[in-house]
Chain A
Amino acid sequence: MIHRPSMTATNAETEGEIRTLRLTLASAGHGCGNAEVLRSGVVTPPGRWFAGSLPAIVETVTDVPTSESSGQHARPGAASLPGVVAVVVVTGGLVREATDSTVAETLDALAAQDYPNLQVLVLVSAPPESVEKVVDAVTAALASTDRLAGSPVRLVGDGVRFAAAASASLRFVEGDSGLFLFLDERSVLEPTAVGRLVDELQRSNAGLVGPKIVDLDDPRVLRSVGWTVDRIGEIDDGLEPNEIDQEQHDAVRDVFGLSEIGLMGRADLLRRLKGFDDAVDDDGAGLDLCWRAHLTGARVVVVPSAVMKLRAVDGAVSPLTAPAAASRTTTVLALTGLARLPLVALLALFSVLGAALVALIRGRIAKALADLGGFARALLELPSIVRRRRRARPLRDVADREVADLQVRGSVRWDRFRRERHFRALDEARRSSFGTARRSPLVTAVWAVALVLLVVGSRRLITDQVRPVGDLFPLSESPWDGIRGYLTGWWDRGLGATTAQPTGLGVLAAAGVVFFAQMGALHTFGLLGLVVLGWWGAFRLAGVVDDARARAAALVVYAATPLPYAALASGRGGVLVAYAVVPWGLHIARRLSGLGWSNSLEPNADEVVVHPDTRSRLRLMAVFVLVSALTASISPAALLVMLVTVALWASGVLLVGGRNRSAGLALAAIVVGLVGAVALNLPWAARYLSADGWSAAVGSSAAPIGSWNVFRFAIGPASLGSLSVLAYPSLVAVALVARSWRRAWASRMVLVAGGFLALALVADRGRSPIDLPEVGVLLVPVAVSLSIGAALLVATFLADVRGARLGVRQPIALVSLLALIGSAVPLLSAATDGAFGQPSTSIAEQMDELLGATPESGDYRVLLIGDPELVPGAASDFDDVEFTLVRDARLVVDDRWSNPTATEDRVMLEALSAVRDRTTTRAGRLLAPLGVRYVVIPLVDRVRSTSEAPRPVASGLVEAFGEQLDLRSVYSPASMVVFENTQWIPVGAVLAATAAEASVAGGAASLAGADLSGSRPILAGASSWSSTDDVAVAGTVHLGVAFDERWSIAIDGQNQPAGRPSFGSVMAFDPTPDSWSAETGRITLRYDTSLVRYGWVLLQAGLWFLVVCVVAQPRWLRRRSRVSVAQPVLSMDGDGS
């Protein structure tokens, strides 16, 4: 959109040399529509350049400010020196709160350069909300110096990275004979820097030169003097942490790489290299550029006499970030010569694995994950790497061996490690990639202890796998089966149906592929991983307190909560999911809200509010949606609790010391998260929009455990769990004695804890007017609140209590701190059992062992009916009991979800009602067409119901089934009562004559009167995703699934008439008599998947992919942020050459 403001008479009269500007974007096509034209404005002559009121700019229409006309004042002697164009990329996001001063400092430093032939081009890439401010600052700063007045300023749009903007400058500037110098608003050059860089570049005949970079805040501290690089791209800056500059690195020398900030290069070289590579992240852009320069034979030299100060942003310790592992790896793979590439790639792989292992051992999980993730990401970007190699091919003027000679032999990582050992004490508090995490020996130790305790505590689970207790069902044996089953649209649950399948099935199948089909390992480590994920989330959330001890306390308290261990013991997957995601949900919402970015421990410091820029907000929102969707796919109840937690917290922000905008952003996240979760889980999510959707979403309620157990999180076995109540005083104490932002945070967490405690108590007392998630899930936000309370207590102790005048604060804080220590004891006790109290065997295992299928007997189902606490998985209500149909007596992950069809509902309710009302003694016959071979009534699961304290069996349940004449008691363990249905018909069968007759008649009465025995099993193990065949004798072919026209059979390759409804509930095929040869035939069963289903899956996968892309923001998406340049605005040939 382009505005062409008309010049007003007033302006024309008052400003004299007014030039009309067109305000538009210099960038296009990158989707930053919100960075449109701000408003029209005018350019005033030097000295009157925007008094701060008119912001924007940006592209001149009539008079391109070349060096002649730009107003920049050339110094004497400039003509004899090469022209240098200093490209300053300004982003409001880099130095958020201090843009004015930093930009001014940068530009002032340029204006102060003693190098005469210097021009400045400012490129502004700022989010729309801050672009006005940034442009104001830039224009004001330019106007304040005579030398730079009239320098062109270009608005390149929001989200354009430094490297992309810098590359664009090659097109903004004409001429090949000069030099480019790339800076950003953090850079402050010493007055002699440009001149020394030019001198050395000419003297050394270098292609690229770079200054010595020091810290702006403390110029004694060195930040970069160039990089050496080894064969696998590991970088060494040769500096110790916070190394003081004592001129020890002041020799001019060749280096392999330079930081992209402060880098000066020959224009002709840069144009040949086409500037920075768009496919490379900012942090790796310098390395990539230098490497490509080496390919051309150009020298890369560091000029220590040229000094540039660099400002750290957002509280970072160092202003420079080394290229991330992914950037380095992709650069190595893209630029290493073909002959050396296989060996180098292999070395890189081993290096990454080794480094990750070492990082793990050292407790630096984030680093290990970053290493592994970086390598994995590099592999995912193979197409991009191939394109980069293609682009690099014409640059290879020197042999790859010569470039390799410039690299360091051996391992830079090892050298650095050895060096760091001597300076570990100085290497404190480096920021993690997430911005707020500070490593400290205490944090490392706490993490190490916690992880060791988890490993020790779960040793039997790791060796023997997690028992299928409660709803912790084993995953399907093969992820491919899961994926194929998901694709077909036939869900083999209950009676089976062509219906939406839970997205969780697809997610778990995909996870299985990532786990190399080791589904047992995925099951065990996935569940244990949820625990660690929860710890990590709480640790990250506690980052609101900028102190390692506080965060360690938060981690300890959250880890010591008995919830996850009791959940593992009693098989409550929903609790584990909630435990993992609720802290993350709150953490993401907090980041979105901008609150508590890193709150200082200064006693009177206000809460820090840093709103993320548009891109970060978009990414955070996408992360929130992704977390919500993943959570909903496994446990909708956990999602509900997570969203309500955020809502309560946001309410707390509104009420106590927050900003409305922050609360609004958090509330917006809830809406977006919920909508996103529903959208990403469609069509399955429609299940939760049905009449019983709410009940299905929140799941079965658990048996009451009593108020005391609610308070102490005792939803299952939790030895010494009572000590966990000692964490409550810390939260209350903080709310009472803390000051400033700590009090505000404590109040918010009190609201969360109080709200969810109340909900848990109401749920436990059975007094809720609506169904609520089980108590364990409701208690997770309480645990999170206590965890943050612990962090706040430590912060309060450090900031408000320690050193303060003696008063009531000291004893309260001290006692609470002591209590906090006691609350950690349950973590120790949880580790003693080795399996967190999981029973040595479970109902699911016993069922499998006792009733497991054999191919000869055919497929069948088990009717599992009994106490809602004891019937695993999602089950249907029937008065006071619940029931579910289990295929082949094997409970698998599918059984977590249920969406019974109307037919299944009707048939099951009819049969069970007849049993309940004692209007039949032939329940076996009523259930036979469904393939129900066994009826299992669980009595004791050894966790929720033990032999010492059994749950009461619903009265009349065993008796009613015991009265059935066609059910036979099966010898079974004391934990269950098992009846075998002697009338059962295999799911796939050729019906006996009487059964075939009854199948036509339909109706319960005729069914009860017919002898259905004698059917022959066929097609055992049939599935919807593969054509199954079997030899069968002539007769009516029975298929014990809900009638569906998509099923068809063929006999000896000859298609048979479509199936018909059978027994009023399932389906049967009546092959034509001439289909059978010699009374037998090879029967083939097929299921035809609808194209609509494939469409749905594609759409769903597309949506997930889209969200993942927004989260990951891969380069191929970001590449669109390219700056379009209509015409050059500067020429370096004019003066310089």
Chain B
Amino acid sequence: MIRRIALGILAVGAVVGALALERRPVEAPVFAVATEPGTPVVPGGDAVGGATWYCGGTPALGAAEGGEYGGEVVVTNTGESPSTGTVSIFSVDAAPVRVPVSVEPRSQSVVDLDAQVTGNFVSAMVELDRATVSVEQRALHPAGNAVVPCANSTSATWFAADGFTAEGSDLRLLVTNPYLSAAIVDIGVSTQAGPRTPSSLQGFVVPPQSLRVVNLEEAGFRDEPVVGVQLRATTGRVVVAKDQHFLGAGRLAHVTTMAAPSLDSQWWFADGEKGAGTSESLVLFNPTESDVEADIMVLGLGTVPSSDGASQVPLELAPTTLTIPSEEVVVFDTAGLPGLPDGAHGFLVTTRSTASLVVERVITRPSGDAVATSVVVGAQPRALSTRWIVPVTPSVPLEDALVVLNASATAGTVDVLSIGPGGEEPLPGLSDVPLAANSVLSIDLLDAVSVGRPVIVVSDQPIVVERRLERSATSSGRGGSLALPE
């Protein structure tokens, strides 16, 4: 009897005990941690397939009466081993053209795109067997060249905050599908009148391994001072760049920039300027379905004497809070910031919510008798790095060629190294350059060993590095672009 009871207790106890066990939480299975595309970075390391870069697109008509409409891919190998790869050039109607490329250690190779394929625009995909190689594209245009890092990855979403078609300015979206399957995208446009989804831009098919150019003026967005664009691929993944030719309404220049593949809650800008004849604005685009509040913090304003005059204290401005309505673009003119002194500064735009913004900075600076406009997409937080590569540097000695923003609240130092055949060499006078907390540092690249050579900016604090490059040999003014974090 006792045995029987014990046995019963044993059996029932086992079941009850099992029932009492806490259920292991069901975790969603993960194959690959989502590395959301964002500000391009040089991956480094030993990738099995090396690295693949996607260049958004450049003009490719070649030499013309007014100048050259062309494009180049600049492949920079900062590593110690040679690298080989293939440049696949995509165009609108032709099959992709593949060009082998090789680049020696610590050197650059340039592939002239319009020499391979002629067309209004071409885009490129560069596959390399080393992950230490970075790729940028240089768009050549009579109205000024534009250098921009190529993207690390494709994406199903792309956002562009700054669009501008006022007074005949051109705005083209260059949509590249490097894959073997067609991509289908929906393009939404936000103007001052609000968001629109033109039927002609819905279900827009981008054939495999091709480039499609969307002229937003022709799509019905003519003479719009504000054009925010969001592109979502319902099938496939694409690469999107903007080709902008500013022709008036305060802007002049030709600019090619990559759109942002993702939204974020922080956007960093190293370069900014307030001064006579200079206009600067931040263009904030909220493609989400909710309104977003964004704080604009001005960084690197330098120091001012303390109230007792005994010391220098950092100049700080109170953040400016803006409300960005859903699917709308807000253009914030920094000139309106009370207390903003003349001179260089940086920006940090943050939201109080999740990733929901894309922010671009537009600066129009005097350039001789005219002005020159540059447009830069900010750096996303994951791009903050202590080591930045500047593959394309000015081909002539330039002052303020690099602008470094200390993204931390801790002071640090900066070293600028030139990459040459002998490896990384410190530039004279550019070692251990002090960098105050949240400060902005302008660096001149005047030394011969820095001109036309890739340089590396290294700091002991996370930094953001922007470049001010000459627009062309014949164009005055500066273009702007982010360097590449490593």
**B28: min CB distance to chain A, Å:** 5
Task: Tell me whether B12 is interfacial, beta carbon within 8 Å.
Answer: yes
Task: Tell me whether A251 is interfacial, beta carbon within 8 Å.
Answer: no
A750–B18 CB distance below 8 A: no
Task: Tell me whether B33 is interfacial, beta carbon within 8 Å.
Answer: yes
A765–B35 CA distance with the chains assembled, in angstroms: 31
B35–A755 CB distance below 8 A: no
Could you mark each residue 752-767 of chain A with 1 if its beta carbon is under 8 Å from any beta carbon of chain B, else 0? 0111011111100111
**A460: min CB distance to chain B, Å:** 33
Chain A residues with CB below 8 A from B179, complex form: 962, 965, 967-969
A955–B21 CA distance with the chains assembled, in angstroms: 28
**B57: min CB distance to chain A, Å:** 18
Chain B residues with CB below 8 A from A750, complex form: 7-8, 11
Q: Which of A755, A880, A916, A962 is within 8 Å of B14, CB to CB?
A: A755
**A43: min CB distance to chain B, Å:** 49
Asked if A1009 meets B50 with Cβ closer than 8 Å, knowing A652-B7, A954-B30, the reply is yes
Chain B residues with CB below 8 A from A754, complex form: 10-12, 14-15
Task: Tell me whether B19 is interfacial, beta carbon within 8 Å.
Answer: yes
Chain B residues with CB below 8 A from A915, complex form: 32
Could you mark each residue 558-585 of chain A with 1 if its beta carbon is under 8 Å from any beta carbon of chain B, else 0? 0000000000000000000000000000
Q: Which of B18, B43, B48, B180 is within 8 Å of A914, CB to CB?
A: B48
Task: Tell me whether B26 is interfacial, beta carbon within 8 Å.
Answer: yes
Task: Tell me whether A920 is interfacial, beta carbon within 8 Å.
Answer: yes
Q: Which of B4, B14, B22, B154 is within 8 Å of A656, CB to CB?
A: B4
A761–B34 CB distance below 8 A: no
**A333: min CB distance to chain B, Å:** 55
B154–A757 CB distance below 8 A: no
Chain A residues with CB below 8 A from B24, complex form: 765-767
**B241: min CB distance to chain A, Å:** 19
Chain A residues with CB below 8 A from B131, complex form: 919
A704–B26 CB distance below 8 A: yes
Q: For A753, A754, A760, which residue has the most chain B Cβ atoms within 10 angstroms?
A: A754
A762–B21 CB distance below 8 A: yes
A761–B31 CB distance below 8 A: no
Could you mark each residue 913-933 of chain A with 1 if its beta carbon is under 8 Å from any beta carbon of chain B, else 0? 111111111100110000000
Q: Which of B3, B31, B237 is within 8 Å of A954, CB to CB?
A: B31
Q: Which of B14, B26, B48, B127 is within 8 Å of A919, CB to CB?
A: B48
A955–B43 CA distance with the chains assembled, in angstroms: 22
Task: Tell me whether A1073 is interfacial, beta carbon within 8 Å.
Answer: no
**A930: min CB distance to chain B, Å:** 15
Task: Tell me whether B318 is interfacial, beta carbon within 8 Å.
Answer: no
Chain B residues with CB below 8 A from A751, complex form: 7, 10-11
Task: Tell me whether A1005 is interfacial, beta carbon within 8 Å.
Answer: yes
A1009–B127 CB distance below 8 A: yes
B48–A918 CB distance below 8 A: no
Task: Tell me whether B476 is interfacial, beta carbon within 8 Å.
Answer: no
**B304: min CB distance to chain A, Å:** 47
Q: Is the interface of A mostly helix, strand, loop or mixed?
A: helix
Task: Tell me whether A678 is interfacial, beta carbon within 8 Å.
Answer: no
B129 nearest CB neighbor, chain A only = A1009
Chain A residues with CB below 8 A from B86, complex form: 1009
Chain B residues with CB below 8 A from A959, complex form: 32, 34
A761–B21 CB distance below 8 A: yes
Q: Which of B7, B17, B28, B48 is within 8 Å of A747, CB to CB?
A: B7
Asked if A1008 meets B49 with Cβ closer than 8 Å, knowing A956-B33, A963-B154, the reply is yes
A982–B208 CA distance with the chains assembled, in angstroms: 13
Task: Tell me whether B85 is interfacial, beta carbon within 8 Å.
Answer: yes
B127–A922 CB distance below 8 A: yes
Task: Tell me whether A1023 is interfacial, beta carbon within 8 Å.
Answer: no
A955–B129 CB distance below 8 A: no
Task: Tell me whether A881 is interfacial, beta carbon within 8 Å.
Answer: yes
Asked if A758 meets B47 with Cβ closer than 8 Å, knowing A963-B154, A967-B180, the reply is no
A1009–B85 CA distance with the chains assembled, in angstroms: 7
Task: Tell me whether A174 is interfacial, beta carbon within 8 Å.
Answer: no
B50–A955 CB distance below 8 A: no
Chain A residues with CB below 8 A from B11, complex form: 750-751, 753-755
A960–B49 CA distance with the chains assembled, in angstroms: 14
Task: Tell me whether B118 is interfacial, beta carbon within 8 Å.
Answer: no
A225–B178 CA distance with the chains assembled, in angstroms: 95
**CB within 8 Å of B: which of A968-991?**
968-969, 982
Task: Tell me whether A910 is interfacial, beta carbon within 8 Å.
Answer: yes
Interface residues in A, total, Cβ within 8 A:
62
**B13: min CB distance to chain A, Å:** 8
**B134: min CB distance to chain A, Å:** 16
A652–B22 CA distance with the chains assembled, in angstroms: 29
A755–B235 CA distance with the chains assembled, in angstroms: 51
A921–B22 CA distance with the chains assembled, in angstroms: 42
B8–A918 CB distance below 8 A: no
A736 nearest CB neighbor, chain B only = B8
Could you mark each residue 41-84 of chain B with 1 if its beta carbon is under 8 Å from any beta carbon of chain A, else 0? 00101111110100000000000000000000000000000001
A926–B48 CB distance below 8 A: yes
Asked if A969 meets B8 with Cβ closer than 8 Å, knowing A765-B24, A954-B29, A955-B32, the reply is no
A704–B10 CA distance with the chains assembled, in angstroms: 25
A966 nearest CB neighbor, chain B only = B180
Asked if A969 meets B181 with Cβ closer than 8 Å, knowing A880-B30, A956-B33, the reply is yes
Q: For B31, B45, B154, B208, which residue has the most chain A Cβ atoms within 10 angstroms?
A: B31
A747–B12 CA distance with the chains assembled, in angstroms: 11
B29–A920 CB distance below 8 A: no
Could you mark each residue 141-176 of chain A with 1 if its beta carbon is under 8 Å from any beta carbon of chain B, else 0? 000000000000000000000000000000000000
Chain B residues with CB below 8 A from A761, complex form: 15, 18-19, 21
**B88: min CB distance to chain A, Å:** 9
B31–A957 CB distance below 8 A: yes
Task: Tell me whether B6 is interfacial, beta carbon within 8 Å.
Answer: yes
B19–A707 CB distance below 8 A: yes
Task: Tell me whether A200 is interfacial, beta carbon within 8 Å.
Answer: no
B9 nearest CB neighbor, chain A only = A754
Task: Tell me whether A689 is interfacial, beta carbon within 8 Å.
Answer: no
Chain A residues with CB below 8 A from B84, complex form: 1009
Task: Tell me whether A735 is interfacial, beta carbon within 8 Å.
Answer: yes
B29–A765 CB distance below 8 A: no
Task: Tell me whether A867 is interfacial, beta carbon within 8 Å.
Answer: yes
B8–A747 CB distance below 8 A: yes
Task: Tell me whether B142 is interfacial, beta carbon within 8 Å.
Answer: no
A881–B29 CA distance with the chains assembled, in angstroms: 7
Chain A residues with CB below 8 A from B29, complex form: 867, 880-881, 952-955
Chain A residues with CB below 8 A from B34, complex form: 955-956, 959
**CB within 8 Å of B: which of A82-108?**
none
Q: Which of B3, B19, B31, B236 is within 8 Å of A960, CB to CB?
A: B31
A960–B32 CB distance below 8 A: yes
B98 nearest CB neighbor, chain A only = A1011
**A961: min CB distance to chain B, Å:** 9
A761–B23 CA distance with the chains assembled, in angstroms: 9
Q: Which of B18, B26, B48, B208 is within 8 Å of A1005, CB to CB?
A: B48
Task: Tell me whether A879 is interfacial, beta carbon within 8 Å.
Answer: yes
A965–B180 CB distance below 8 A: yes
Chain B residues with CB below 8 A from A954, complex form: 28-31
Asked if A767 meets B21 with Cβ closer than 8 Å, knowing A881-B29, A916-B31, A1009-B129, the reply is yes
A963–B127 CB distance below 8 A: no
Task: Tell me whether A743 is interfacial, beta carbon within 8 Å.
Answer: yes
A731 nearest CB neighbor, chain B only = B11
A1005–B81 CA distance with the chains assembled, in angstroms: 14
Chain B residues with CB below 8 A from A917, complex form: 32, 47
Additional 9 contacts, C-beta under 8 A, given A735-B8, A920-B48: A704-B23, A754-B11, A766-B24, A867-B29, A918-B32, A919-B46, A965-B178, A1004-B49, A1008-B129
The 6 closest A-B pairs by CB, nearest first: A754-B11, A920-B49, A956-B32, A919-B47, A761-B18, A766-B24
* 17 A-B pairs (CB sep. < 8 Å): A655-B6, A655-B7, A743-B4, A754-B10, A761-B19, A921-B127, A925-B49, A926-B48, A952-B28, A952-B29, A962-B237, A969-B235, A969-B236, A1005-B48, A1008-B50, A1009-B84, A1009-B85
